[in-house]
Amino acid sequence: MSDDADVPESHPRYESLLTRHRIEAGVDMGITSRQGLIAQGRGEAYDYLLGEATINSADRAERAAAAYLLRADHAVVSVNGNAAALVPGELVALAEATGADLEVNLFDRTEKRIERIADYLREHGAEDVKGLTADDRIPGLDHERAKVDADGIGDADVVLVPLEDGDRAEALGELGKTELVVDLNPLSRSAQVATVPIVDNIVRAIPNVTEHARDLRGDPDSQQEVIDSFDAETALTDAEAAIRGGV
Ligand code: PTJ
């Protein structure tokens, strides 16, 4: 497959193949790490068991995430190599709809990858991309994900972290930041410590959070109501039940 158009739309698993192809292309472009391929495979397995659809509890989590992003003093959407390859334009649209910043933050950090991802986001309409300054550190982390911008994740009160590794999720939580996590594995440490765990494929989750944000924008009462009625434990239990028992 050389580009998206080579996957026939009639294929029963068209979306899944397209997603896989985007990760492959991400590796070729120097955006996605090779480990990203493994992460994608793991995600696909969970997604298959979820019926490759957004379950109701994930939709509620996506609405809650939208409300948190809108109510934040300073929201940041963290972007890694998988997220950039899969949903670059959708991340830019989400940032626009919620007023959040975009910040590149990588587990396997190289300056080259950071710059390529920032360029890729700009090609998809981003005006300001953070993550290149890296003048602040998240305490308690001894890997590259500790490096953040002081006026980005360092200053944020709400951070959306797609496809996260558990260490940083815990460290951000300890700093008192509200974490919105997108992860297809409800048992992953990042999903478990999130204020809002979104157990859904990022390709469906990000556009749906944006849609909810557009719906909730300018309505602080509804935003608060959505936040107050959201229960993370229930979202995780529902997702696990769907995966184990079938939807
Ligand atoms: O770009 P980098 O260097 O920051 O590295 C990014 C990866 C994803 C390679 C790195 O963070 C990593 O190794 O993550 P893990 O520990 O493999 O965790 C990734 C999680 O995301 C797993 O629980 C997967 O099930 C989940 N996942 C994979 N693909 C998707 C997904 N969740 C939502 N949507 C997906 N498309």
Ligand 1 lining (C-beta closer than 6 Å): 33, 35-36, 39-40, 42-43, 46, 80-82, 86, 106-108, 163, 165, 182-185, 188, 201-202
> 100 forms bridges with which residues in the sheet?
none
pLDDT-based confidence at 247, cuts 50/70/90? low
* Coarse DSSP helix, strand, coil percentages of the chain, rounded to the nearest 5 percent: 55, 10, 35
| CATH number for position 201 | 3.40.50.12640
Residue having the nearest C-alpha atom to atom 19 of ligand 1: 163
In a domain, 11, yes or no: no
Q: Average the pLDDT over 58-73 and give the result.
A: 98
Predicted TM-score of the model (pTM): 0.95
Q: What is the pLDDT of residues 118-154, one digit of tens each?
A: 999 999 999 999 999 999 999 988 888 899 999 999 9
Please tell me the total count of domains within the chain.
Answer: 1
In a domain, 122, yes or no: yes
In a domain, 184, yes or no: yes
- Cβ-in-10-Å burial (0-12, 13-18, 19+) of 160 comes to buried
In a domain, 225, yes or no: yes
Residue having the nearest C-alpha atom to atom 7 of ligand 1: 36
In a domain, 97, yes or no: yes
| Ligand 1 geometric centre to CA of 4 (Å) | 22
Tokens 């107050």 locate to: 228
pLDDT-based confidence at 88, cuts 50/70/90? very high
Question: What is the domain range of residue 77?
Answer: 56-245
Tokens 């409300």 locate to: 67
Q: What is the pLDDT of residues 205-223, one digit of tens each?
A: 999 999 999 999 999 999 9
75-79/101-104 β-pairing: parallel
What one-character DSSP code corresponds to residue 55?
-
In a domain, 19, yes or no: no
What's the CA gap between 27 and 35, in Å, rounded? 10
Tokens 């497959």 locate to: 1
Tell me the percentage of the chain whose pLDDT exceeds 90: 84
In a domain, 20, yes or no: no
Quote the crossing angle between the two packed helices 88-98 and 202-216, to the nearest 10°.
20
- Could you tell which of 82, 116, 181, 208 is best to mutate to test the pocket of ligand 1, judged by most ligand atoms within 8 Å of the CB? 82
Taking 50 as the threshold, does the pLDDT of residue 1 lie above it? no
In a domain, 103, yes or no: yes
Tell me the percentage of the chain whose pLDDT exceeds 70: 98
